[in-house]
Structure 1
Amino acid sequence: MDQKKKNIDRREFLKVLGVGAAATSAALYGCGSKGTSATSTGVSGSALTGEMTYRTNPTTGDRVSILGYGCMRWPTISNSSARDSNDEIDQEMVNQLVDYAIAHGVNYFDTSPAYCKGRSERATGIALSRYPRDKYFIATKLSNFSRNTWSREASIAMYRNSLKELQVDYLDYMLLHGVGMGGGMQEFEERYINNGILDFLMKEREAGRIRNLGFSYHGDIKVFDYLLSRHDDFKWDFVQIQLNYVDWKHAKEVNTRNTDAEYLYAELEKRDIPAIIMEPLLGGRLSSVPNHIVARLRQRRPDDSVASWAFRFAGSHDKVLCVLSGMTYMEHLQDNVRTYSPLIPLTEDDKAFLEETARLMLTYPTIPCNDCKYCMPCPYGIDIPSILIHYNKCVNEGNVPENVQEENYRKARRAFLVGYDRSVPRLRQANHCIGCNQCVHHCPQNINIPGELHRIDRFVEQLKQGTL
């Protein structure tokens, strides 16, 4: 393709977006080349009022926007998320989202061969390839989850296909995907050590085809601790962890298998390893909180969104290089850009306020589903995430009555049952679970999925029969 046609015309681009040249110049050229703006003491940097906040990677000198675009929820032509739907990805809208993001300073884009049911890398590559290669950072993962991809040949083929789909000849950030999931240390060794893949990726880094090598951590803390104990050997350039104001001190209360983000972050900080943050909204639960929590947050900062509190918390830690957000809709992108242009770090009083908020939220018995969909597809067609998310939504809205004597029982009963049928087709509801346990192994939150589905099904039947 002719390079002039491939790269978007800058003047036409500014005209379409309706932004001034001065404001957009810094956004379009925010990446900086290797070695630029580096500091000797880890992640650093800030932005002027109205401009995106950036942090500097101490290894490569990359000047990274603190807001990173998580490309796991690209929109479809039916205006849903490609993470949830088989509908065709709306490439035109993906392009518009990328254009807005880049115009407003976002330069880090995170994808995976597993995202959007295998379609994210291609859509991301099409959108980004319209820009000069040194104007964005691309992160992808070796997502060799299934056993048929554990061989050296299959894993290398997946890696090379990522380069092809993304239309690049090098990757800025490459991750071992989901270490600690499923079978813990044994599974990690099968996926990355015994087949020589970690050695292969380190050689790719030496050759410059990978600029930064790291891993995303889920689950078994033994794997996390082992990989950091080998930091002198592996020389991790960054690590991706789950961090939010609930998981900071209360991860084990949400899920006994999880580890507090405070510990994960501290282990990275002491080794001077930059952190990339995933799940700042705890799978969306920190943007869809109980009504009294909404009132509490709004009373303190009336003009800020509920989600902005979580993003500010994640970004207020000095070693955080970038905070990822999977943004399907333009309004989500705009709100997050507002939060980080610039980031207003939390005060100690703000942090204490959010700790109190986290404790209040823990009094509500939601299921720790992050809507990652690693449990899918269910062999019996059950829509596991939608069932759990509907239940959590009703908990947050006060529509999970304990008994028929509750004052709002009728209203809550109707809201739960009608919403359940609207959210989940009847043939995909919890009553079809036979307890085969195939989903349990894949859940990074270690949820007893069959147990929760059976519990929800019993609750639904009690609501229908009026026997609660």
Structure 2
Amino acid sequence: MEIQDKHNINRRDFLKIVGISTASAAPLLSGCSSDKTDGVADGPLGEVPTDKMTYRTSPKGEKISLLGYGCMRWPTIPAPEKGGNIIDQDAVNRLVDYAIAHGVNYFDTSPVYVQGWSEKSTGIALKRHPREKLIIATKLSNFQNWTRENSIAMYKQSLKDLQTDYIDYYLLHSIGNGGIETFRARYIDNGMLDYLIEERKAGRIRNLGFSFHGTVDVFDEVLAMHDHVHWDFVQIQLNYVDWRHASGRNVNAEYLYAELEKRGIPAIIMEPLLGGRLSNVPEHIMMRLKERTPQSSVASWAFRFAGSPEKVLTVLSGMTYMEHLQDNIRTYSPLVPLSDEEKDFLEETAQLMLKYPTVPCNDCKYCMPCPYGIDIPAILLHYNKCVNEGNLPKSQQDENYKEARRAYLVGYDRSVPKLRQASHCIGCGQCNSHCPQSIDIPKELHRIDQFVEQLKQGTL
């Protein structure tokens, strides 16, 4: 206990040391190679349409772009004088301006995104545009301190940081983590759900819903509150793998969507790319998709799948790079819904994906900051990328052992500073309760660290 207390650091001190986590830059460095296109189609794709965006209409008559901007992964820049990275506000402004000019009007953030800076950055960018043309979503992310006082303060701070006097879509954030007792403690016992219902009546919240990660019993119980609460929407994880093959505690999206459709509740979609795993696919799966539509990106298949159900209002994507934004705009300008034959094709593709032993990390960074400074997402993302690229040797007898060994070790040191690598994990388990994918994070870190040591020592 003394050792843990000695090394434990609070959030403020952590940010002083590493700034916004270097995991924010992980998409650039997280794998054996540093290709940031992540499944975006190569070659000229023509103009990006400005007037063909697909829109869905909510039950209250709101016209919402099918592509929603997830503000979890804003670009960052090095700031050595501040001890780490900071959000690149100029880049955020450019991305937001471009998105709005091309028909995107839904922006989703949270008090905990980008180490707590997303709402402020998003508010700065959106304030430069007419409020009535925007749909702003944020969340009650009271994971650590769910007292009524703290929860109300968090809600009011969101309004202040977003520079708005109302929120279009407000979510109870990531219900299901910790089970139904945690849900009740965060929202029922402290009176927060009743408080938010009153805020909706007052017009400061236009739509009230929740985002879900967890077990089916929690989902069913919270959804059963619909007659009393009248959920305006629900945000679920939906993609062509999770449709029928959800991992960990997560529930198949086919079931979640059907239950919402049955009650006439619109769905908002998160993780259409499964944390990037459906754009960074193994080469033979990429070729399988490219053979069908050579001019379309690998990612476009996943976005078409997520956008095809009629009760989907918007599909969120955390677009750090302009080319990702442009590719997704093309996919939804307009959406070409999947045919039944294409859905069967993607189900076959999902079954092929399941054969690859990747860790189900979606790079949400809810596990951060680690009290020991470990860059958990970067470690897991590097491992996954090497799995997909075939740079995960099983033994020294592998034909490409030397090349794969070098690629993994060099990429690991480039992706994750040595003081933030898996070898520093003491197994405290603080991260586990925050992971929406129910990953046993210390177990995976120790397994990866053992693998790295075997590569270094040549004992694999």
- In the superposition, the TM-score normalised over structure 1's length comes to 0.86
| Selected match of 1:418 from 386, 410, 416 | 410
Distance (whole Å) between structure 2 residues aligned to residue 72 and residue 294 of structure 1: 26
Aligned pairs for 1:327-366 (under 5 A) are: 327-366=319-358
Query: What's the CA shift for 1:78?
Result: 4.0
- Superposed displacement of residue 106, structure 1: 0.3
How far residue 112 of structure 1 moved from its aligned partner, in angstroms, is 0.8
* 1:138 counterpart (136, 139, 146): 136
Identity between Structure 1 and Structure 2 (%): 72
Instruction: Tell me how far apart the structure 2 counterparts of residues 417 and 354 of structure 1 sit (CA, whole Å).
Output: 33
- Following superposition, the deviation at residue 130 of structure 1 comes to 1.4
3-state SS in 1 of match to 2:211 = strand
Return 5+ residue gaps in structure 2 as ranges.
1-46
> Within 2, Cα distance between the matches of 1:86 and 1:198?
37
Aligned equivalents of 2:299 and 2:277: distance in 1?
9
Aligned to 2:104: 106
| 2:202 equivalent in structure 1 | 207
Partner of 2:174: 178
- Higher relative contact order, structure no. (Cα contacts within 8 Å, ≥ 6 residues apart): 2
SS in 2 for 1:175: strand
Equivalent in the alignment of 1:87 = 85
Aligned partners of 1:424, 1:328: CA distance in 2, in Å? 19
Quote the Cα distance in structure 2 between the aligned partners of 1:447 and 1:338. Answer: 34
- Structure 1: runs of 5+ lacking an equivalent: 1-22, 28-49, 80-84
Report whether the alignment pairs 1:408 with 2:400. Answer: yes
Look up the equivalent residue of 2:162 and give its one-letter code: L
Once residues 244 and 168 of structure 2 are traced to their aligned partners in structure 1, the CA distance between those partners, rounded to angstroms, is: 32
Which amino acid letter does the alignment assign opposite residue 133 of structure 2? K
Aligned to 2:439, which of 442, 447, 452?
447
Q: In 1, are the aligned partners of 2:248 and 2:439 still within 8 Å (CA)?
A: no
SS at match of 1:404: coil
Q: Are 2:224 and 1:226 equivalent residues in the alignment?
A: no
SS in 2 for 1:212: strand
Instruction: After TM superposition, give the deviation of residue 95 of structure 1 in Å.
Output: 1.3
What is the number of equivalent residue pairs in this alignment? 411
One of 372, 376, 380 as aligned partner of 2:368: 376
Q: CA deviation at 1:434?
A: 1.5
CA–CA separation in structure 2 for the residues paired with 1:462 and 1:133: 56
Moved more, 92-101 or 348-357: 92-101
Determine the C-alpha separation between the residues in 1 that align with 2:67 and 2:328.
7
Note the C-alpha offset of 1:462.
1.3
Q: Any idea what SS the aligned residue of 1:415 has?
A: helix
Secondary structure, counterpart of 2:76 in structure 1: coil
Where does residue 14 of structure 1 map in the other structure?
none
Structure-2 separation of matches of 1:86 and 1:102: 30
Taking the TM superposition and a 5 Å limit, the aligned residue runs for 1:15-414 are 51-58=52-59, 60-78=60-78, 86-147=84-145, 150-181=146-177, 183-251=178-246, 255-414=247-406
**How far does the alpha carbon of each residue in 1:33-83 deviate from its partner, in whole angstroms, 9 at most, with x for none?**
xxxxxxxxxxxxxxxxx600000001x11010000001111112349xxxx
- Cα separation, 2, equivalents of 1:206 and 1:75: 36
Q: Distance in 2 between matches of 1:77 and 1:424?
A: 16
Give the structure-2-normalised TM-score.
Answer: 0.87
CA contact (8 A) 2:176 2:214 kept: yes
Q: CA deviation at 1:256?
A: 3.0
In the alignment, what sits opposite 2:25? none
The list of structure 1 runs, each at least 4 consecutive aligned residues, that deviate by more than 6 angstroms after superposition, is none
What's the CA shift string for 1:346-375, capped at 9, x where partnerless?
111111110011000100100001111111
Separation in 1 of the partners of 2:367 and 2:93?
A: 30
SS in 1 for 2:408: helix
SS at match of 2:153: helix
In the alignment, which residue of structure 2 is the partner of 1:37? none
* Residue type of the alignment partner of 1:242: Q
Opposite residue 453 of structure 1, the aligned amino acid is: L
The verdict on how the C-alpha distance between 1:86 and 1:144 changes in structure 2, with shifts beyond 3 A counting, is farther
Deviation digits for residues 397-446 of structure 1 (CA, Å, limit 9, x no counterpart): 00111111111111111111111111111111111112111111111111
